[in-house]
Amino acid sequence: MKIIYSFFIGIALAVCSQAQSLPAVDSTTKKIAYTDVVTVDGATQAVLFKRAHGLNISGSGVLTDKPADGYYSYKGQFKVSYHAPQPGLMHAGIVTYTVVLACKDGRYKYVITDFVHTSEKGNGGALEKSVPECNKYVLSMQGWGDIKKLTAAEMEKLVANIKVGMGNQNDKPVNVGTDW
């Protein structure tokens, strides 16, 4: 009886920890989305748009580039390593996502969404799903949880980088002084 009780508690904890690893699914789009509107005092739409371009360092994956509207979007990706269905083995894959930046005078909005896992071993598909697209025997539930946790960690870093990059003061002249 203790074994069965422990088993159910373990499953409940696993489900709870997996559910908390990514933000809630947007009620309109039915997709996971990281979004915020951030105020940047004194920055014009043109300056913020220039900074938005700088965030996509590789310049690849550009989806939309509209300077007049202050709208820029690109496709990003990162590698993930996660537990395989076979004990002791790890699989590797890629999670792709879309970043949208809309700029106005004094503020910008970012939306990061469209998270999809792909791998040679089996595609998990959209991260909103509770079970991977390729089924739980090809990509274990532990591996699916790993992917979601890694995605949440990567998105925390990306959001922090967006906020630093968009609030970048490098566009302003720096006073280096005359005593050098």
As for how many domains the chain has, the answer is 1
Tokens of 12: 């409940």
Determine the pLDDT at residue 28. Answer: 85
CATH of the domain at 67: 3.30.530.80
Domain span holding position 56: 2-166
Judged against a pLDDT cut of 70, whether residue 160 lies above it is answered with yes
Q: CA 79 to CA 76: how far, in whole Å?
A: 11
Q: Which amino acid is at 150?
A: L
Write the pLDDT tens digit of every residue in 62-111: 999 999 999 999 999 999 999 999 888 999 999 999 999 999 999 999 99
77 to each of 9, 52, 61, 151, 165, how far by Cα in Å?
35, 17, 10, 10, 18
Provide the CA 137 distance to its chain's centre, in angstroms. 26
In a domain? residue 175 = no
pTM: 0.79
3-state secondary structure of 180: coil
Mean pLDDT, the chain, as a whole number?
84
Q: Which residue has the tokens 């990281």?
A: 34
Cβ-contact 142, 84 below 8 angstroms? no
DSSP per-residue string spanning 124-166: -EETTSSS-TT-TTTS-HHHHHHHHHHHHHHHHHHHHHHHHHH
Judged against a pLDDT cut of 80, whether residue 5 lies above it is answered with no
Q: Which residue has the tokens 């925390």?
A: 156
